[in-house]
Amino acid sequence: MSKILVMDIGGSATKTAIIENNEIVDRDKIPTSTQSLEEFVDNIDKVVNKVKPTGIAISIPGLVNSKTGLMKHGGSLSFIKDFNMKTFLQERYKVKIAIENDGKCAALGELYKGKLQGCEDGVVIVIGTGIGGGIIANGKLLKGEHLSAGEFSFVRTNDENPENFRNAWGAKGSSVGLVKRVKLAKGIEGEFDGIDLFKLIEEEDEIAVEAFNSFCKKIAVQIVNIQVILDPKKIIIGGGISAQKILTEKIQAIATELNTIPGMYTPEIIVEQSELGNDANIYGAYYNYIQEEL
C-alpha cells in the first residue's frame, strides 16, 4: 500500500499529512526553518525517517517549475532560490517527489476535493499575508509562460503610483494588513488578532465595519476584473480569514452590485467560501503527485 507524505510548507510552520487510499489518515505540524537549507532539510529528515513514506508531495511558496523541480525563488525561504528541490529530495530519500507552488496547490485541491470539482474554469484566491491563488482553465491548472499565473499579490491597483507595493493587491487585500489597520485606528495596545477583529464587526463597531467593508470592496473590484479576463464559473475564497462566512457574503454582494452598473457588462459572478480550509493545499499537493508520472 502506498503511503504518501504530504507537506504544506509555510513561512513559519509546515503542515504534514499522511494519505493512504486517497484519504488523510494522520496529521502533524513542524516548524519551518527559514535560516538555512541545512536546518530546513533537517526538519524534513525527521518527518521522513519517522513516516517512511513511499512518496512525498510538497506545497511550497515561491515560483517553482514542477516538472524540473527548480525553484526560481522561494518567497521567505530565500536559501532555496535557484535550487532544484525535487532532484535534491529524490536523491536523498529515493522516492518519488512532486512539488508545486502553494497557491496553485490550493486551486488543485479545490479541483480535486473542493468547490471546483467538475468545473472546467475556476479561480481560487487565497487571502493571507498577501494574495495568492491559482487558476483552473479547461479543467487544468494554468501555470503561465513564466509560472506566474495566479500570483495575484502583484496586481497593481493604482495607476498613479504603481511602483509602490502599498498599492499592489497583496498589500491592499492582506488580511494581516486589515487587522493592523483596525488596531491602529482604534489605538489598541497589546494583542489584537483576526478573532478580535471579527468580534468587533459582529458588535457593529463603526471603525471595524468601515475598514472591513473597504477591504471587501477592494477584493470585489479585482474579482470583477478577473471575471472579465478569465470568465470563470466560480471564484473560491480561501485562506484563514475565509472561515468567516461574512467575508464571502460581503464580497459577493459588492461584486453583484458592481455588476449592475449600466453599460458595464460583466458575466455572472459567483463567489464561494472554500470548505477545505487548510486542507486545500494538502489535497492539492497530493493531487499534483498522483497526476505526475514517476
**CATH code, 51:** 3.30.420.40
**In a shared domain, residues 258 and 192:** yes
**In a shared domain, residues 127 and 206:** yes
Q: Rg (Cα) of the chain, in Å, rounded?
A: 20
**In a shared domain, residues 167 and 35:** no
Please report whether residue 112 resides in a domain: no
What integer is the mean pLDDT of 11-17?
A: 91
Is the pLDDT score of 83 beyond 50?
yes
Instruction: Please report the pLDDT score of residue 159 as a whole number.
Output: 84
- State the residue range of the domain holding 34: 3-105+279-291
Reported as a pLDDT band with limits 50, 70 and 90, residue 293 is low
Q: Is 99 left (phi over 0), alpha (psi -120 to 50) or beta?
A: beta
What integer is the mean pLDDT of 214-231?
A: 96
Reported as a pLDDT band with limits 50, 70 and 90, residue 266 is confident
Residue 100 half-sphere exposure toward CB, CA atoms < 13 A = 30
Is the pLDDT score of 23 beyond 70?
yes
**In a shared domain, residues 201 and 221:** yes
DSSP-based three-state secondary structure for 255: helix
Q: Give the number of residues written for the chain.
A: 294
Say whether pTM exceeds 0.75: yes
**In a shared domain, residues 74 and 134:** no
What integer is the mean pLDDT of 268-276?
A: 96
Is the pLDDT score of 1 beyond 80?
no
DSSP-based three-state secondary structure for 17: strand
**In a shared domain, residues 36 and 162:** no
What integer is the mean pLDDT of 32-61?
A: 94
**In a shared domain, residues 66 and 134:** no
